[in-house]
């Protein structure tokens, strides 16, 4: 089980972007969030989110997202540290950052404030230019259970309207060990 400090992993504000199209999008780091922020017309926060009926969540292949995030951190925030040490800390679960934590955990953060429905949309359907700020493109192995959890959600719920309760029940019923390791953290 991986222990982490909630205050460091979850931002104090849960933000949803309202686009000119009238759509509401929950931005997940490394899933086009910076690009979405550049085109949003309005931001909604925390308790305002329960006034929104439906929110889109762009979902990325978990392994690709993990590698992208590690590269981004090594090129930026941790550029002055020993690269191998940082990678070892990340891959052992001792260094947790919201840029590479499971997308599922982002959904949990959203559901603190939004009890309505969401649609999980593949990132390939986000038709805006994506800014890739990382110079490196090394592949790093993600934490197996985190990657599996995001992949299970992607496979089952992509392009479907759902909510966190349905996702949790599906994982619990079909992937019991994964449910215990990632969701109840047993």
Give the residue carrying structure tokens 């230019």. 129
Please state the domain extents for the chain. Answer: 6-183
Q: What is the pLDDT of residue 85?
A: 95
| pTM, 2 dp | 0.91
Nearest CA to 42 among 67, 62, 15, 68? 15
Residue 77 CA to residue 133 CA, distance in Å, equals 12
Nearest CA to 133 among 58, 40, 35, 48? 35
State the 10-residue block means of pLDDT for the chain, 186 residues long: 61 93 96 94 97 97 95 94 94 87 92 95 90 78 92 97 94 89 73
Q: What is the pLDDT of residue 123?
A: 95
Q: What is the pLDDT of residue 8?
A: 64
């Amino acid at each position: 089980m991986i222990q982490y400090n909630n205050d460091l992993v979850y931002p104090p504000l849960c933000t949803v972007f309202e686009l000119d199209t009238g759509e509401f999008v929950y931005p997940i780091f490394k899933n086009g969030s910076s690009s979405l922020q550049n085109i949003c017309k309005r931001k909604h926060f925390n308790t305002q989110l329960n006034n929104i009926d439906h929110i889109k969540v762009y979902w990325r292949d978990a392994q690709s997202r993990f590698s992208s995030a590690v590269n981004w951190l090594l090129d930026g925030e941790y550029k002055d540290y020993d690269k191998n040490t940082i990678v070892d800390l990340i891959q052992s679960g001792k260094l947790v950052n919201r840029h590479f934590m499971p997308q599922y955990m982002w959904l949990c953060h959203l559901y603190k404030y939004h009890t309505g429905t969401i649609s999980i949309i593949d990132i390939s359907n986000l038709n805006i230019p994506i800014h890739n700020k990382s110079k490196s493109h090394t592949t790093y192995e993600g934490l197996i259970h985190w990657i599996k959890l995001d992949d299970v959600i992607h496979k089952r719920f992509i392009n479907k309207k759902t909510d966190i309760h349905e996702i949790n029940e599906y994982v619990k019923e079909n992937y019991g060990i994964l449910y215990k390791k990632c969701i109840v953290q047993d």
